[in-house]
A and B are shown apart, each in its own frame.
Chain A
Amino acid sequence: MLQQLLEPTPLPPSIKANRIPSGSDTYNEVLDFLYDEAEMLDNLRLGEWAELLTKDLEYNAPLRHTRSTSQFDQTYSRNVQHLHENYGSMLMRVKRITDTKSAWGEDPPSRIKRLVTNVRVYRIDDSDDLKVESYLLLTRSRFDFDYFDLIPCVRHDILRREDGALKLARREILLDQVVIGTPNLGVIL
């Protein structure tokens, strides 16, 4: 009971037979969606980005543990997570940055590149939604620091067509680091 309440809805599986081939119209549309999204976020067009979200959004980033090879599938924890968001809380995160003068964690803002690769698109059985897996390497430069904070992750998204346009309905962010190597996840992944 508690686990069900604490944990996000399980994502549908990525079934090989449902793979939408690279280069197809749908694949290209998804790719454009991800590229455009990255551009909006990199350029602080957060209000515009928020319009890409569905009202039933689930947006999560599980914790990770170092465990043995045989326990590789047990390295994620989805009760306490780094991000555990819904539509309302994501809008609050956006508003904190766009509507206040004191979101110091990102003011002045980091210079960020969201490098999106390894994109795979799947049809979902009994649904018109698309499941999209992608790699994201976020590079974050803060102040005059001469190093970059790197946030590599895999994203499992559910995209849904609403009024003809693709929207983000689910995102699960699987981070590589057990101990996150940047002072906060005040940036959108």
Chain B
Amino acid sequence: MDRKSNPKLSDGTLLSDLINLETREVKMRALSDPELFELEMERIFAKTWVFLGHETEIPNKGDFVVRDMGSDSVLMARGADGEVHVSLNVCPHRGMKISTHDVGNTMTHVCIYHGWAFKPNGDFIGAPVEKECMHGKMMTKQELGLKKARVAIYGGLVFATWNIEGPSFEDFLGDAKWYFDTLWCRTDKGMEVLGPPQRFTIRANWKTACEQSASDGFHVLTLHRWLSEVGPYRKPGSEGGGGDLTPEMYGTEVYTAHAHTMRCIELDRKIRRLTGKDPSELSIKEKLEALPPPGITPEMLPEVLRRFSDDQLRVMAWRPPQVGNFFPNGLFEFVYIPSPDGVIGVMALHAYVPKGPDKLEFVNWILAEKDTPPELKAKMLRLGVQLLGTSGMVEQDDSDTWPHQTLAAKGAVSKHITMKYQSMYENNRLEGWPGPGDVGDGFTKDDTQWRWWEYWYELMTAEN
């Protein structure tokens, strides 16, 4: 059982002074305090499972990519055993970065400083001039490998943790798994990345992006209003035309013990538009045929129907998770975008990598099912690039917002004002909602984001 601690910052402020659990407020200072950042790296990023990428990025033995687990660089590599391994990208000899490349293939990672060599799984192979034994005799070769993380593959996603004896990945997912299975595990062959991730830097604290990623629905109404002004969510003339994103705010929001959250946005309006019929008169199968999940074609549906329970299929056809997060720093989007070619699904994954208290790296992967027809993959990719990530017309507005919050977190006065999460669901459980977790029904609220902060606080005050 974890003993509780209450870290004290150097000016005497207690962590508990920064968050009010009763009134659901967080002081701005928490956003970008350098001491808190160090604590976050130790207590969150070195403890929980961290999302690193997708196994289809490294399909062959020896393939590797360099990624970040919090403030640490790691090698994510496929070993001679065909398995994915994650090791600290730091030489145990003198601390040089082992791979200075972003991506590649090798069975021998050789440090360019003194030539120590390592396998893709992190094992030490040896140092130059073997007979002179550069590494000495005090430690065995087994002890001189790269520091290895514990790895979990879920639906092709690669997660790792330094918490070798800690909770299992299944425990970490908790109630979210029931929903996440309907996203990541929809087909027998599974998903693939459509290419390497986009990467760009934002001068903002990682939490500005991540607390938003915990299913902030309200910001869409204002920050992303262009979507209904000229963008794909402009209503058709039959529905009055013009710009109002309010209908996109209704549905179910799910939040789980470990702060994985999701917005399950209702599809009924889209299905009515596509079929001309009242969705309540259609079967689950008919609804999924009219509007299949992103990347799924009607031809692929029988496989999807076979893989899930009736309860899961009901959610997939009615209120599927469309945006959400996995704690601490992952965001996913499985959105249905109206386009001249019909509704096109876009599937994207982000990691918001902390790069110091005032900087984050935005990493954006675009995915599809392996079995998605190539023409559809190409459309999904284009729409994904146009709306999300580096140049995305939606997300460029987010990227301009987070730096201002980060700056405000430093003002002598503004660092003491609070971010408020006081919009609460009053009916916490929708009658007949089949899925687990905490559930809010109706118009979007703040409960999902508040859960994010609650779990942040729980980890920051946990002491093993």
Contacts and interface: CB of A to CB of B under 8 A. Distances in A.
Given A6-B378, A82-B391, A89-B382, A103 B201 contact: no
Contacts of A103: 226, 397
B229 A100 contact: yes
Given A6-B378, A66-B100, A80 B198 contact: yes
Contacts of A89: 382, 386
A28 interface: no
Interface string B385-417: 110011111011101110100000000000000
A104 B402 CA distance: 12
Given A100-B229, A105-B400, A184-B400, A77 B196 contact: yes
Nearest to A85: B386
A92 B201 contact: no
A93 B200 CA distance: 20
B230 interface: yes
Interface string A80-114: 11111110010011011001111111100000000
B101 interface: yes
A51 B202 CA distance: 32
Contact of A180 (B101, B366, B390): B390
B226 to A, nearest CB: 4
B269 to A, nearest CB: 22
B196 A2 contact: no
Given A66-B100, A67-B102, A99-B230, A178 B199 contact: yes
Given A183-B400, A184-B395, A96 B200 contact: no
Nearest to A78: B195
Interface string B169-211: 0000000000000000000000001111111111110000000
B101 A80 contact: no
Contact of B223 (A95, A104, A181, A183): A104
A102 B195 contact: no
B369 interface: no
B385 A82 contact: yes
B397 A104 contact: yes
A81 B102 CA distance: 16
A99 B375 CA distance: 31
B436 interface: no
B196 A102 contact: no
A182 interface: yes
A80 B196 CA distance: 6
Interface size class of B (residues with CB under 8 A): 35 or more
B304 interface: no
Given A183-B400, A185-B390, A95 B201 contact: no
Contact of B230 (A63, A100, A178, A183): A100
A77 B366 CA distance: 14
B107 interface: no
Given A92-B230, A178-B102, A184 B399 contact: yes
Nearest to A90: B386
A65 B57 CA distance: 14
A142 B396 CA distance: 14
A183 B399 contact: yes
A47 interface: no
A81 B104 CA distance: 19
Nearest to B202: A183
Nearest to B385: A84
Contact of B201 (A84, A96, A179, A186): A179
B381 A183 contact: no
Interface string A1-15: 110011000000000
Interface in B127-162: none
B102 A65 contact: yes
B358 interface: no
A62 B104 CA distance: 18
Contacts of A6: 194-195, 377-378, 381
B225 A102 contact: yes
A185 B391 contact: yes
A97 B207 CA distance: 28
A127 B374 CA distance: 31
Contacts of B196: 63, 65, 77, 80
23 contacts: A5-B375, A79-B381, A80-B193, A80-B195, A80-B365, A80-B385, A84-B385, A92-B231, A100-B226, A100-B229, A100-B230, A105-B399, A106-B396, A178-B102, A179-B200, A179-B201, A180-B198, A182-B200, A183-B200, A183-B400, A184-B392, A184-B400, A186-B400
What 5 A-B pairs have minimum CB-CB distances, sorted nearest first? A80-B195, A105-B396, A79-B195, A184-B396, A180-B200
Given A2-B378, A103-B226, 6 more contacts: A67-B103, A81-B385, A89-B382, A179-B200, A183-B203, A184-B400
